[in-house]
Amino acid sequence: MARILIVDDEPRIAEPLIYALEREHFSVAHVALGEAALACLAHDNVDLVILDVGLPDINGFEVLKRLRQNNEVPVLFLTARQDEVDRILGLELGGDDYVTKPFSPREVVARVRAILKRQGGNGSRSAVPLWQLDEAGARVLCKGEPLSLTRSEFLILAALLRHPGQVFSRAQLLDICDSDEDSFERSVDTHIKTLRAKLRPLQADSLLATRRGLGYYLESA
């Protein structure tokens, strides 16, 4: 789940953005001051920053200038300024995009998605792998987030991860489960449905694909 930091001192701006982003399954943090944003970014993992230019302590350009000394997190500027010089300055300092107030929260969400997609899905320029398989610990991480899986769900997903693109029949996945509780091929469908539900908040459910009449496979990202 991508983590977004909103830096804006106006509740009427920040609150609709928080609602819109959380509705799209982003994790959102909010601070009102530039110094607070720098402190947060010094110790928290953030995938993208939505940064207001007109902050009450230090302006957004100064925040970005200081941030870029040791952090390449993507930054989307929010501003009431419509001067082209300001937009160019923000981009030259290392900003990734620019939205002028007033704006639609839906537009900001779309721009956030576009930036994250350009950065490889999670926004961090030191990208977290899409999948991490820990066989010794019997766990799977998706976009850095550990999944809460039953034994059968782990075994199915681990097999699909080891052989991306390979189609597994229900019978093959049933053998992989090797459990008395999974004695019918249709129980595999239930496990796949549950896995997709657990991957949906991370926007990875569509990667667990069905080959009609044959079985299931894991698509490459």
Domains and CATH numbers, the chain: 3-118 (3.40.50.2300), 131-218 (1.10.10.10)
- Closest residue by Cα to residue 4 from 77, 74, 95, 106: 74
CB-based contact 83:38 (threshold 8 Å)? no
Whose tokens are 């941030």? That residue is 67
CB-based contact 34:79 (threshold 8 Å)? no
Question: What average pLDDT does range 12-33 have in this prediction?
Answer: 92
Mean pLDDT score of the chain? 85
Banded pLDDT at 82 (limits 50, 70, 90): low
In the numeric block, which tokens belong to residue 84?
Answer: 């082209």
Instruction: Name the least confident of 56-70, 126-140, 190-204.
Output: 126-140
Helix (H) and strand (E) counts in the chain? 8, 10
Extended strands (E) in 54-118? 75-79, 97-100
Per residue in 185-219, pLDDT (tens digit) is 678 899 999 999 999 988 888 889 999 889 999 88
pTM of the model: 0.55
In the numeric block, which tokens belong to residue 86?
Answer: 């300001």
List own/partner pairs for 164-172 with CB under 8 A and 24 or more apart. Answer: 164/217, 164/218, 164/219, 164/220, 165/217, 165/218, 165/219, 165/220, 166/217, 167/211, 167/214, 167/215, 167/216, 167/217, 168/215, 168/216, 168/217, 169/214, 169/215, 170/215, 172/215
Question: What average pLDDT does range 42-62 have in this prediction?
Answer: 90
Banded pLDDT at 183 (limits 50, 70, 90): low
pLDDT of the residue at 221: 54
